[in-house]
Amino acid sequence: MSPTNSEQKTDQYRRKFLGQSAAVAGLAIAPGIVLNQVAHAKSDADKASAANRWGMLIDTTKCAKGCTDCVTACKTENGWGSVDGKASAEKLSNTEQQAQWIRKVTITDKQTGHVQSLPLMCQHCETAPCVDVCPTGASMKREDGIVQVDKHICIGCRYCMMACPYKARSFIHEKLELQKATAPRGIGTVESCNMCAHRVDKDQNPACVEACSKADHNAILFGDLKDANSEISKELKKHGGEQIRADLGLNTGVRYQGL
Amino acid sequence: MKKPAFKQIDGNSTNYWMLLALLGSFVLAAVGSHFYMEHGGHYVTGMNNQIVWGLPHVFAVFLIVAASGALNIASISSVFGKTAYKPLAPLSTLVALALLAGGLMVLVLDLGRPDRLIVAMTYYNFKSIFAWNMILYNGFFIIVGIYMWTMLQRNINKYSKVAGMSAFIWRLMLTTGTGSIFGFLVARQAYDAAIMAPMFVVMSFSFGLAIFLLIVMASYKWTERPLGDAMFKRLKNLLGVFVAGVLYFVIAQHLTNLYATEHHGVEAFILRDGGIYTQLFWYGQIILGSLIPLAIIYHPATGNSRSAISIASIFVILGGLAQMYVIIIGGQAYPLDMFPGKEISSSFFDGVVGSYTPTLAEALLGIGGFAVSLFMVAFAVKVLRFLPESLADEAVDPHHSK
Amino acid sequence: MMSLRQFAKHLALLVGLIALPVLSNAGELSPSVPKAKANVSETQQCVEPIDVIRKNHMVFLEHKRDETMREGVRTKKHSLVECIDCHVTPNENGEYARIGEDGHFCSSCHNYAAVNVDCFDCHSDLPQNASAHMHTLNNNNPHHKDLAANGSLTKETLDVLTEGDKK
């Protein structure tokens, strides 16, 4: 039976209605899709935001004892230490005075004899003792969880170095020159790993993470702990991750597996 | 009781000028060593990334702690109403301010960026006990300064009780703050203890009085003013009580730590395996700094001898410096316990005892702090009326019993 | 009380003592400031008008340093690294003056004004593209090319010495 005039009109209205609804719905969702993509990319003008918390997950079972790729990458990126035989920028300081932002630590269980290796750097604690004790507020935590030293107001008292449970901080014992533009460092101030904030702000991985993945070890994972869909959050949910000195209750941003 | 008469010292003798010259030369040496350290950087010192606070801090913290203790005599007279000590109250405030100035000078000159002191005065992180200490130190100068003023100027003497009470409370807060610098650190096995604050308070009583007693004895001997046995006995007996008090706190701290397996590592380090730190603890802090002075003070043969008590006071000071060395440097030397039950090694000296060799520059800076304090006292008693003309028994306490 | 003659003598001496350093610098009443790489635009030489930036560069830099360091804002305007990249230029020989030397852009004025510059204890005083080996062998330096030309330094040696550790 062919549609009557009034049925045709209703169909037309229905089509129009459905079409318009689809258009409106599309318009409503589209910004959400577009914005969601924009939210992941940080422009130069954006501030670090508390919506993110940057963290790292280190799988010690993938970390080889003799490998120092992460350390070398950090040295090259930030301009400290001796790389490929070229002397450290700190020529006058002895080995106990020279800065180390990250180091490989070998741990041997006294009971079982089990040996493990892992990289140790600033743990970027949520309640960092170094931030608490700094008299001027130079030792600070960014909104996105990165802990660093504001060397503009650091007076070089070294109290943060006393306070750090991981001995992550170093003091500069001599005049430096020709520092990397992205890693200013100078005499009489304290410094430590800043999770390559200058790279993170450009949506890149920290140098250590980059080097470890380039060499195909993939022992270090970097990402946004507050984003449930990030690789690091999913990995943490699936296999867990421990803090070093968890009893201190500092809620570190750097977690380890296989300890 | 006759009101005590205060008079400036003559300060004309060759010996006096030689004393000032000697102290002045140590001050200059300290300034020189500061420039040496600041110009090239801290690489010239023995401090490193494992031992970040060294000999200068030992001296600085000692002087700051002693400063608050030196105020005791004044507090006892104003706050607790023991009028026998009243003649020495102004000198007590003077020594307190001078010791704090000396200690702070050493602390500030050791900073990595001492040119940024104004930053430390204007940017405050109020969660930091260090920042609170800066407020407490500056407040100490103001409050004790006012207290001193109420005692020196006759028409405002009536305010000295209120000023004295304020100063007493303030110095307790200050020394609690100084002890908490270490007590609040969760990271290290040797610190992170509530006992640090009260222990530092009692240490301040002991060190401050030892220095004060030596200054009183020296001043009166060298200006040939009388210092009677009554006052002398009070001061030396008080010193004995304070030295015993410090020993009690030290015993309490170590016994508690020895009970917890968690702390056995650091206790074994300090008490047995720590090399220089163990030696300084037993020979310096306990025997030289506590037991021998107690024996000298309370033994009838030596208890009344001025020279023996002077030696006891010097031993208390040396023992106090040893105690600071063990706390500050020994506490840092013991490696962080990041992985309990495991041995650690790395390129950054994890798991090994930190090495530290003090350098001459650091020692001169520290000693210079002492010199600045003593210079200030020696100069002040010449220009202002801090020293009572007589501390003979009749002047001090007409009703004293022999 | 001194006489008028005595007073006049003292005054003349005082004025003379003050005038001495001023007169001795008579020829150098303003510093010679090296030219930047390029102007920001046709109408404006620097990121701010010259009189504004001369007077207030420290205010801009201090504000920017907190924005960058504490908040992660990395825009180029008022960035110290951008200032250095544009203003610190090599001379005809390809050599860079260092901070403290009159030839360095910042020092040219700061030495003259005797105002301490704190930045370069931590920040590099040279632009990012200035080779770190400028102070040893500089293959922009015509002198070294001459050495290569007259045979005392072979080109291979020159290449290895200047490029050798660049992989």
Contacts of C137 by beta carbon, 8 Å cutoff, 6+ apart: C144, C158, C161, C162
Residues C104 and C148 both lie in one domain: no
CA distance C60 to C62: 6
CA distance A232 to A228: 9
CA distance C14 to C6: 12
Residues C36 and C105 both lie in one domain: yes
| Best mutation target, A157, A242, A251, A256, to test chain B (most B CBs within 10 A) | A157
Q: Which amino acid is at B390?
A: S
Q: Which domain holds residue C160?
A: 134-167
Residues A18 and A48 both lie in one domain: no
The answer to whether residue B36 neighbours chain A at the CB level (below 8 Å) is no
**What confidence score (pLDDT) does residue B378 get?**
96
Q: Is residue C54 part of a domain?
A: yes
In the sheet that B342-346 helps form, which strands lie side by side, from edge to edge? A115-121, A102-109, B342-346
Lowest mean pLDDT among B105-109, B118-122, B185-189, C135-139: C135-139
Region of A93 please: left (phi>0), alpha (psi -120 to 50) or beta: beta
Residues A133 and A19 both lie in one domain: no
**What confidence score (pLDDT) does residue C152 get?**
54
Q: Is residue C42 part of a domain?
A: yes
Q: How do residues C133-150 score in pLDDT, each as one tens digit?
A: 444 444 444 455 555 455
DSSP 3-state assignment of A115? strand
Q: Could you tell me the pLDDT band of residue C40, with boundaries at 50, 70 and 90?
A: confident
Residues A22 and A91 both lie in one domain: no
Residues paired with A117 in a beta bridge: A106
Q: How do residues B387-399 score in pLDDT, each as one tens digit?
A: 999 988 877 766 6
Residues C83 and C143 both lie in one domain: no
Residues C65 and C40 both lie in one domain: yes
DSSP 3-state assignment of C122? coil
| CATH code, A98 | 3.30.70.20
Residue B131 pLDDT exceeds 70: yes
**A221 vs B81, higher pLDDT:** A221
CA distance B23 to B215: 14
Residue B80 pLDDT exceeds 70: yes
Residues A59 and A32 both lie in one domain: no
Residues A190 and A229 both lie in one domain: yes
State both tokens at B34: 């500061």
Q: Is residue C22 part of a domain?
A: no
DSSP secondary structure letter of residue A212: H
CB B371 within 8 A of CB B31: no
DSSP 3-state assignment of A86? strand
**What confidence score (pLDDT) does residue B2 get?**
56
Overall residue count recorded for chain C in this entry: 167
Q: Which domain holds residue A22?
A: 1-36
Give A-chain residues touching B341 at CB under 8 angstroms. 109-111
Domain count, chain C: 2
End-to-end CA distance of chain A: 76
Give mean pLDDT, residues C68-96. 92
DSSP 3-state assignment of B345? strand
**C130 vs B167, higher pLDDT:** B167
Q: Which amino acid is at A67?
A: C
Q: Is residue C109 part of a domain?
A: yes
**Domains defined for chain B, CATH in brackets:** 14-337+344-396 (1.20.1630.10)
CA distance C6 to C123: 55
**What confidence score (pLDDT) does residue C138 get?**
44
Q: pLDDT tens digits, chain A, 259 residues: what are they? A: 555 667 777 777 777 777 677 666 666 555 544 444 444 578 889 999 999 999 999 999 999 989 999 999 999 999 999 998 889 999 999 999 999 999 999 999 999 999 999 999 999 999 999 999 999 999 999 999 999 999 999 999 999 999 999 999 999 999 999 999 999 999 999 999 999 999 999 999 999 999 999 999 999 999 999 999 999 999 999 999 999 999 999 999 999 999 9
Q: Is residue C58 part of a domain?
A: yes
Residues A156 and A172 both lie in one domain: yes
H helix or E strand, kind and range, residue A139 = strand A139-141
Residues C138 and C109 both lie in one domain: no
DSSP secondary structure letter of residue B354: P
**What confidence score (pLDDT) does residue C27 get?**
58
Domain count, chain A: 2
State both tokens at C89: 């230029």
CB B166 within 8 A of CB B143: yes
Q: Which residue of B123, B339, B346 is in closest CB contact with A104?
A: B346
Q: How do residues B220-233 score in pLDDT, each as one tens digit?
A: 999 999 999 999 99
CB neighbour class for B129 (10 Å; exposed up to 12, middle 13-18, buried from 19):
buried
User: What interhelical angle do B196-222 and B229-259 show, nearest 10?
Assistant: 160
Handedness of CA C4, C9, C14, C15 (dihedral sign): positive
Residues A27 and A51 both lie in one domain: no
CB C108 within 8 A of CB C88: no
Give mean pLDDT, residues B122-141. 95
| Best mutation target, A159, A174, A251, A254, to test chain B (most B CBs within 10 A) | A159
Give A-chain residues touching C165 at CB under 8 angstroms. 84, 86
Residues A4 and A119 both lie in one domain: no
CB B317 within 8 A of CB B207: yes
Q: Is residue C118 part of a domain?
A: yes
Lookup result for tokens 């992170």: B192
pTM value is 0.87
Q: Is residue C11 part of a domain?
A: no
* CA of A145 vs chain B CAs: smallest distance (Å): 18
CA distance B10 to B381: 9
Contact state of B345 with A157 under an 8 Å Cβ cutoff = no
The answer to whether residue B348 neighbours chain A at the CB level (below 8 Å) is yes
State both tokens at A122: 């600033």
Backbone angles phi, psi at A182, to 5 degrees: -90, -5
Q: Of B10, C146, B126, nearest to C158 (Cα)?
A: C146
Lookup result for tokens 């702390």: B263
User: What interhelical angle do B360-383 and B196-222 show, nearest 10?
Assistant: 60
* CA of C97 vs chain A CAs: smallest distance (Å): 13
Q: Is residue C74 part of a domain?
A: yes
State both tokens at C144: 């070294």
CB A102 within 8 A of CB A208: yes
Region of A158 please: left (phi>0), alpha (psi -120 to 50) or beta: left
Q: Of A133, A151, A131, nearest to A141 (Cα)?
A: A131
Q: Of B179, B66, B190, B191, nearest to B133 (Cα)?
A: B179
Residues C38 and C86 both lie in one domain: yes
Residues A32 and A55 both lie in one domain: no
Residues A132 and A202 both lie in one domain: yes
Residues A131 and A156 both lie in one domain: yes
Q: Which residue of C69, C98, C124 is in closest CB contact with A181?
A: C124
Overall residue count recorded for chain A in this entry: 259
Give C-chain residues touching A201 at CB under 8 angstroms. 72, 74
Residues C118 and C153 both lie in one domain: no
Q: Rounded mean pLDDT of chain B?
A: 94
**What confidence score (pLDDT) does residue A84 get?**
86
What are the start-end ranges of the H helices in B190-269?
Answer: 196-222, 229-259, 264-268
What are the start-end ranges of the H helices in A115-229?
Answer: 129-133, 159-163, 197-200, 207-214
Give A-chain residues touching C71 at CB under 8 angstroms. 47-48, 142-143
Q: Of B18, B198, B211, B4, nearest to B100 (Cα)?
A: B211
Give mean pLDDT, residues B265-284. 97
Residues C152 and C120 both lie in one domain: no
Residues C115 and C138 both lie in one domain: no
Residue C128 pLDDT exceeds 70: yes
The answer to whether residue C129 neighbours chain A at the CB level (below 8 Å) is no
DSSP secondary structure letter of residue A215: T
Rounded CA Rg of chain A? 25
